[in-house]
Amino acid sequence: MLMEEQQEHLFAHWPEPGSDDEKKKCFFDQVEKLDASYPGGLRAYIHNARQLLADSKAGKNPFDGFTPSVPAGEFLSYGEDDFVKFEEAGVNEACYAVFVLVAGGLGERLGYSGIKLALPSETTTGTCFLQLYIESILALQEASYRKNKGNINLQIPLVIMTSDDTHSRTQELLESNAYFGMKSDQVHLLKQEKVACLQDNDARVALDPSDKYKIQTKPHGHGDVHAMLYSSGLLDQWQRLGRKWVLFFQDTNGLLFKAIPAALGVSATKDFHVNSLAVPRKAKEAIGGIAQLTHSDGRRMVINVEYNQLDPLLRATGHVHGDANNETGYSPFPGNINQLILKLGPYIEELSKTKGAITEFVNPKYKDSSKTSFKSSTRLECMMQDYPRTLSPSARVGFTVMDTWLAYAPVKNNPEDAAKVPKGNPYHSGTSGEMAIYRAHSKILRKVGVKVEDPRIGIFNGQEVEVWPRIVWSPKWAMTFSELKQKLSGSCQISQKSTFVINGANIYIESLLLDGALLVYSVDNSEVKLSARVKNDGWIFEPVNYKDNSLPEEIRIRGFAIKKIDQTILKYDQSGKYCVDFSNIN
């Protein structure tokens, strides 16, 4: 097969039979693995690569002939009537859902040597991203169970797509933490394989520079998740058990589950086959825009269009101002954040045709304008959010836009890169990701009537950020706006310097005046009603130097450490009902 595909160069250095035979066998073991892990096999990969490389060299526009327009979708504002309505509908549907976490990357780009899922989402409690996600799913599971009065589909499955880089460490993180409260058979790990690198426009496969009996490989992109789910057999199993929805999300967005219930409610209410969670997007902002593309031949699709393609596409189709803000101050094309909700039945039907293959692209780095040779080897890539590109025009594809402060704070840039971001643009760093969690919780509490003091401005790792009160609660305390309203009543005020941690399912705040640090913990079978006035020296942020190697990486990438000067801790570790009414003013 390799010889038929003009890959003779792979064998040019091979000695006579009897020499290096074990290495030769290892070579073919790798070829067999590459062949099995790609839809259609290695031959199909090479054919696809030749076509895409030819298109790239010719400068072909993949959207030639398409005209963009704004598709149908929902715009929701936290706490408003529509948001609450969809959120309640989403909780009702959650017991029919499955979550798929795409987590194949390490934290090297962040300046973190571990897997990104192990990184603390915030340092007030130290809750890592994987723990936050699992506890959110469990809280949603419990809320849906109550709403459905014991529906048999209580246990919501979680699939994690890993890679060679992350698989064993993800497994270890789960096992060493007792799966963060999930049942071990509730979690499925699917390991993504890499694809062959290509050394030229003829799609000749590249050998590893350090081993002439090994093909050089690189990741194929998170679009592989669709093929992996198809081949795993899980989709049919879920359908037999009555599942309806598959929710895809990525590994370092600490706000995501604030928006998930309402977005799921939109999918269920509108019967969307595909629903992309989105945020308002400034024109030309470096985030993909969700657009409907209609071809002159009648083809139509609703997909993510990368920001560097959207503006020229608009200009080429009669929009003289290109990607421009409208009267709202934002682009009419909402910003894609790569969180998808797919309806399981149509998803299975589509994958039965495509076997999970997603439209690919190639991005070779040419040595010069002749485009005849590469600076380094390239490979084909695919993106999870390109799934809708192959759907028929009859597919119901839409989006749900949420406020950025509620739904989107990814952690992906190291401090040095973040500090170079133009003022006013998002940093997407460890610093901004943590501060966004405090901001979201503060704004959410304001929506239910809590008086939260305005933030101050702080500078950490060269990034200017808003420093809100450090308010953190566990997902089981409140997953929805309605739950939050039930847990808070009376007069509540929180100062800017405060730290407030709530961890327990049945903690009710009847009144609160907080100026300092207050931590409240309770076991799930206890009920705590709290009225308190707390004033102490609290916890403060102390700036640290990113280059101080004596500090842990997770602290360095944030640019601050928490100094715990004083705090009030309330802990209820026995079942029972507690009415707590006290003043603790120092």
Concatenating the DSSP letter of every residue in 419-486 gives HTSPTTS---BHHHHHHHHHHHHHHHHHHTT-EEPPPEEEEETTEEEEE--EEEE-TTT-SSHHHHHH
- pLDDT of residue 586 exceeding 70: no
- pLDDT of residue 149 exceeding 80: no
As a whole number, mean pLDDT of residues 214-242 equals: 94
pLDDT in the model for residue 150: 62
Q: For residues 131 and 394, which has the higher predicted lDDT (pLDDT)?
A: 131
pLDDT in the model for residue 585: 61
Closest CA to 420 of 467, 461, 457: 461
CA dist 343 and 114 (Å) reads: 34
Q: What is the pTM of this model?
A: 0.93
pLDDT in the model for residue 152: 57
As a whole number, mean pLDDT of residues 44-67 equals: 90
Q: For residues 154 and 132, which has the higher predicted lDDT (pLDDT)?
A: 132
Domains 37-201+213-412 and 416-585 share a fold: no
**Residues 258 and 266: beta-carbon distance below 8 Å:** no
Enclosing H/E stretch for 258: helix 256-270
Query: pLDDT tens digits, residue range 420-448?
Result: 988 878 899 999 999 999 999 999 999 99
- pLDDT of residue 374 exceeding 80: yes
pLDDT in the model for residue 39: 86
pLDDT band at 58 (very low <50, low <70, confident <90, very high): confident
Query: pLDDT tens digits, residue range 175-202?
Result: 999 999 999 999 999 999 999 999 999 9
Query: pLDDT tens digits, residue range 283-333?
Result: 888 889 999 999 888 888 888 998 888 888 998 888 888 899 999 889 999
In percent, how much of the chain has pLDDT > 90?
A: 78
- pLDDT of residue 487 exceeding 70: yes
Question: Which amino acid makes up residue 354?
Answer: T
pLDDT in the model for residue 205: 96
pLDDT in the model for residue 519: 97
Average pLDDT across the chain, whole number: 93
**What CATH number labels 416-585?**
2.160.10.30
CA dist 202 and 417 (Å) reads: 35
Domain boundaries, the chain: 37-201+213-412, 416-585
- pLDDT of residue 151 exceeding 70: no
pLDDT band at 153 (very low <50, low <70, confident <90, very high): low
DSSP 135-176: HHHHHHHHHHHHHTTS-TT-S--EEEEE-TTTHHHHHHHHHH
Beta-strand relationship, 507-515 and 463-467: unpaired
As a whole number, mean pLDDT of residues 401-424 equals: 92
Q: Class for domain 37-201+213-412, per CATH?
A: alpha beta
- pLDDT of residue 543 exceeding 90: yes
As a whole number, mean pLDDT of residues 91-105 equals: 93
pLDDT band at 262 (very low <50, low <70, confident <90, very high): very high
Q: Classify 64 as helix, strand or coil.
A: coil
* CB contact set of 181 (below 8 Å; sequence gap of 6+): 134, 135, 138
- pLDDT of residue 351 exceeding 80: yes
- Residue 545 phi/psi, 5-degree rounding, is -90, 125
CA dist 225 and 189 (Å) reads: 11
Closest CA to 133 of 159, 95, 164, 96: 159
- pLDDT of residue 8 exceeding 60: yes
Q: Classify 492 as helix, strand or coil.
A: strand
In percent, how much of the chain has pLDDT > 70?
A: 99
pLDDT in the model for residue 522: 97
**Residues 101 and 160: beta-carbon distance below 8 Å:** yes
pLDDT band at 401 (very low <50, low <70, confident <90, very high): very high
CA dist 491 and 531 (Å) reads: 10
**Residues 577 and 526: beta-carbon distance below 8 Å:** yes
Closest CA to 29 of 213, 168, 221, 192: 213
CA dist 195 and 218 (Å) reads: 6
| Lowest mean per-residue pLDDT among 38-42, 229-233, 294-298 | 294-298
pLDDT in the model for residue 385: 92
Question: Which amino acid makes up residue 20?
Answer: D
Task: Report CA torsion sign: 347, 350, 354, 357.
Answer: negative
pLDDT in the model for residue 382: 93
CA dist 184 and 70 (Å) reads: 43
Q: How far is CA 474 from the centre of its chain?
A: 19
Distance linking the first and last C-alpha atoms of the chain:
79
CA dist 153 and 130 (Å) reads: 23
